[in-house]
Structures are given as structure tokens and as C-alpha cells.
Amino acid sequence: MPKRFRLTRRLPVAMTEDAYRRLKKFSRDAGLDEGEALSFVFEHFDGILDEEKFLHRLRTFNSTLDARKR
């Protein structure tokens, strides 16, 4: 029997405009609301990413983070 889908955690989230627009587009295309879309992404995180590209993009993001905060 599948698990019941309940959104049990609520948290304030800060994200860039680009990330928010991408979340909105993904959720709209998938027919989900933003919370459901984020739940999907994190429940299936290992299956939907290319680990090599992910690590490279994470390093790039971290290297530019301080400059982007200013």
C-alpha cells in the first residue's frame, strides 16, 4: 500500500529569483503545487541527478556564493 501523501513539515525558504522561477515552472509543468514539487525532488533526489554534474555545479555555486550575497 502506498504511503499517504501528507505535507507535515513547513519551513520558510529563501531562494534566488532564478531558483524560484525554475520551481514555479517545474511545478506548473508537472501539475503540482510548489510544496509537492519540492517533496518530489527531494524524495527522488538520488534518481534524478547526475552526480558528476551535481558536484561540479555545487562547487561552482559555492565558489560564487559570497560574491552573489553582496
**Per-residue pLDDT band at 70 (split at 50, 70, 90):** confident
**Tens digit of each residue's pLDDT (9 = 90 or more) over 38-54:** 999 999 999 999 989 99
Angle at CA 52, nearest 5°, toward 20 and 22? 10
**Per-residue pLDDT band at 1 (split at 50, 70, 90):** low
What is the Cα–Cα distance from 7 to 31, expressed in whole angstroms? 17
Please, which contacts does 36-43 make with residues 24 or more away whose CB atoms are closer than 8 Å? 36/5, 36/7, 39/5, 39/7
- What are the residue ranges of helices labelled H in the chain? 17-30, 34-43, 45-48, 51-69
Global pTM?
A: 0.76
| Average pLDDT rounded to a whole number, residues 17-44 | 95
pLDDT exceeds 90 at position 4: no
